């Protein structure tokens, strides 16, 4: 994997230097953030958030409940990270931790900063992980986090995943909404105020069928799909893989606002998945599975789809 971009490389080195130096302890608790001191973990999530956001005002290295390290920036969801000992989708990640085994081929489509890709690399081995993230800033963070963990063997691509190869315009939101970048035009709000994209980026799109054919990939053991409303298009581009039963497990998001922004209804995502012969399941809080309703019942939810037994 190529080295991180020049924009973020100094940040990574500065944090690493702080972690190694005794002087880190003088930075209002930075030392315990970076070394994982038990006393620090007993402090409240609000106190930790205050130190990172208002005292340090710079990125810190965070180690999650799986032993994976990634950078937390002051503009990130710091409180949720400390509160949950990592990324807030606990049930989803708990399921993945129980499902993914060494040597499995795992795809993270819509990888963002890499919270799933990092876990997959730890569980399956980095050389078996294929991560796709179209937005430039997120892609840089993804590469940086993989490097922090020594996962140089992971396959990362700054590509959108759709139903046909073409160049597309990605609508980019503010940094605080790094998970909202989309090809659609969703009606989003922040604290009751409409929030729209602030820029656009031209990105090349691929299909999963083509990508797997070109790279000699016969089977995707787990496909995590989070493409901000373009799930119908991404699954259409995996038609051959789905028809031939080459996707062992699908973890996918349904966000009603994002799906509507792409001109679809939430039920269409379920329809595509079920037509491919997969059974859709809801996730319980402990990561176990239960049958899903006929259609999504919440505005935002993740689901797991498995082949008919």
Tens-place pLDDT, residues 64-81: 999 999 999 998 888 889
Residues 120, 199, single domain; the answer is yes
What is the per-residue pLDDT for 43?
Answer: 58
Domain termination residue (choose one: 53, 84, 115): 84
pLDDT reading at 305 higher than 70: yes
Residues 57, 187, single domain; the answer is no
Number of domains in the chain: 2
pLDDT reading at 4 higher than 50: no
pLDDT band at 298, cuts 50/70/90? Answer: confident
- What number of residues does the chain have? 309
pLDDT band at 8, cuts 50/70/90? Answer: low
Tens-place pLDDT, residues 113-141: 999 999 999 999 999 999 999 999 999 99
Domain termination residue (choose one: 25, 56, 84): 84
Q: Is 164 inside any structural domain? A: yes
pLDDT reading at 197 higher than 60: yes
What is the per-residue pLDDT for 37?
Answer: 43
Q: Which residues contact 124 (CB under 8 A, 6 or more apart)?
A: 100, 101, 102, 103, 104, 105, 106, 221
Cα gap 179→211, rounded to integer Å: 24
Domain that holds residue 64: 9-84
Cα gap 173→23, rounded to integer Å: 37
Cα gap 256→20, rounded to integer Å: 45
Q: Is 1 inside any structural domain? A: no
| Top-confidence residue, 168 or 33 | 168
Residues 102, 242, single domain; the answer is yes
Query: In the chain, what percentage of residues exceed pLDDT 90?
Result: 72
Cα gap 47→76, rounded to integer Å: 15
Across the chain, mean pLDDT equals 88
What is the per-residue pLDDT for 152?
Answer: 92
pLDDT reading at 199 higher than 80: yes
Residues 194, 268, single domain; the answer is yes
Residues 21, 112, single domain; the answer is no
Domain termination residue (choose one: 64, 84, 104): 84
Query: In the chain, what percentage of residues exceed pLDDT 70?
Result: 86
What is the per-residue pLDDT for 6?
Answer: 54
Cα–Cα distances (Å) from 124 to 13, 99, 157, 278, in that order, read 27, 10, 18, 23
What is the per-residue pLDDT for 75?
Answer: 87
pLDDT band at 292, cuts 50/70/90? Answer: very high
């Amino acid at each position: 994997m190529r080295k991180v971009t020049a924009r973020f490389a100094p940040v990574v080195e500065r944090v690493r230097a702080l972690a190694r130096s005794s002087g880190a302890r003088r930075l209002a608790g930075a030392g315990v953030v970076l070394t994982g001191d038990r006393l620090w973990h007993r402090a409240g999530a609000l106190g930790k958030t205050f130190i990172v956001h208002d005292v340090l005002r710079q990125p810190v290295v965070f180690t999650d409940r799986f032993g994976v390290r990634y950078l937390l920036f002051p503009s990130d969801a710091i409180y949720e990270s400390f509160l949950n000992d990592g990324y807030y989708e606990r049930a989803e990640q708990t399921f993945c931790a129980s499902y993914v085994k060494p040597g499995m081929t795992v795809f993270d489509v819509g990888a963002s900063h890499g919270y799933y890709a990092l876990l997959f690399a730890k569980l399956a081995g980095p050389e078996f992980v294929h991560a796709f993230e179209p937005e430039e800033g997120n892609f840089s963070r993804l590469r940086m986090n993989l490097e922090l963990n020594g996962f140089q063997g992971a396959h990362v691509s700054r590509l959108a995943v759709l139903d046909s190869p073409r160049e597309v315009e990605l609508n980019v939101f503010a940094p605080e909404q790094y998970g909202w970048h989309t090809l659609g035009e969703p009606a989003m709000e922040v604290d009751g105020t409409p929030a729209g994209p602030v820029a656009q980026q031209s990105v090349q799109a691929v299909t999963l069928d083509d990508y797997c054919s070109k790279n000699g990939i016969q089977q995707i053991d787990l496909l995590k799909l989070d493409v901000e409303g373009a799930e119908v298009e991404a699954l259409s581009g995996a038609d051959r893989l789905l028809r031939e039963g080459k996707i062992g497990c699908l973890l996918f998001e349904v966000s009603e606002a994002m799906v509507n922004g792409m001109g679809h209804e939430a039920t269409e995502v379920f329809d595509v998945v079920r037509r491919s012969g997969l059974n859709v399941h809801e996730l319980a809080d402990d990561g176990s599975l239960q049958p899903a309703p006929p259609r999504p019942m919440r505005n935002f939810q993740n689901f797991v789809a498995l082949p008919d037994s």
